Amino acid sequence: MFAAVAALGYAYRYVSRAHAEVERLRQSAEVVFYQMKEMDVTIAELQQENASSAPLKKYLEQRRQMEANYEQEVVRLYDRKLSESDKLILRVTRLFGECELAAPPEYLQEVKRYIRLWKSTHRYENALRVAQERGYTRQTAEAFRARNLPPQFFYLAMQESSFDTYAVGKPTRWGIAKGMWQFIPDTGKNYGLTIGSLFRQPQFDPQDDRMNWEKATPAAASYIKYLYATDAQASGLLVMASYNWGQGNVIELVRTLPKNPKQRNFWSLLAQYRERIPPETYNYVFYIVSAAVIGENPRFFEFNFDNPLAQYR
């Protein structure tokens, strides 16, 4: 009896020590992650200011080394224990600048729910076919890579317009959004686009640069870079939320969070303001993330095509 009790006590202490070690590794990895995000903000600010290449090159090299260290920590923590779909979801989450170790418990299942929604229609395949046939994929990926952003922001345009360059939004108090990237007039003008004379009319305007994908795509990438470097604090998911309703309450909620990556991120926004985030914005973010997850390995999710961004990693 004594031996059995002693054995149970030893097993309990062993499990407790194992849990403590996992928690220590998790906290250590999380510290590294947010150090990376602070560096991402610095890099983005330097690029916004057109700083000389010497300090920028140094920061980028340090950032690459930190990412390699972080990924080693993540693999030690959980990578071998996860399903393929979970690995893909967390990898995309990390690419978009959110700490997967700090994700809410329901996050994986929520992304999978949106993957099922994509699979329930042909919208994904149809939009991707348009992008590939018309040459949007390469230019979009390269526009984001040139700004040191993940090419997976390509899927933001998929959600905005299904890559329809003639898309026209509904009239709002900020004007009518138009084009593949659904710029409202003021934002388009701020990023160098000519706004056509029909900007008050919900119709195609051949003189409006928002409907010229070759002009609108770099403008959208620059706008996203600005959000990433400022309000979003290098959180790609906050960028999406801000892009969707940047002129509304979302950006005001974001700005109430402390201006540093550890405290201003999508997880913090959900934790503090879930009931105030418009359903449209919540859906928007999860549709983009889930689309990017599918895009990493479409055949795994039973789509009959390969990763459209494979050559732009």
Q: DSSP string spanning 251-274?
A: HHHHHHS-SSTTTSSHHHHHHHHG
> How confident is the model at residue 48, as a pLDDT?
75
> How confident is the model at residue 74, as a pLDDT?
80
- Quote the CA–CA distance of 169 and 267 in Å, as a whole number: 29
> How confident is the model at residue 10, as a pLDDT?
44
CB 295 within 8 Å of CB 308: yes
pLDDT tens digits for range 164-176: 999 999 998 889 9
pTM of the model: 0.90
Match domain 118-312 to its CATH number in 3.40.50.12780, 3.90.800.10, 1.10.1200.10, 1.10.530.10. 1.10.530.10
- Quote the CA–CA distance of 76 and 70 in Å, as a whole number: 10
* Mean of all residue pLDDT scores within the chain: 90
Q: Which residues of the chain have pLDDT under 50?
A: 2-12, 14-15
> How confident is the model at residue 216, as a pLDDT?
98
- Quote the CA–CA distance of 222 and 203 in Å, as a whole number: 25
> How confident is the model at residue 3, as a pLDDT?
47
> How confident is the model at residue 92, as a pLDDT?
96
Q: Which residue, 266, 268, 260, 262, is CA-closest to 282?
A: 266
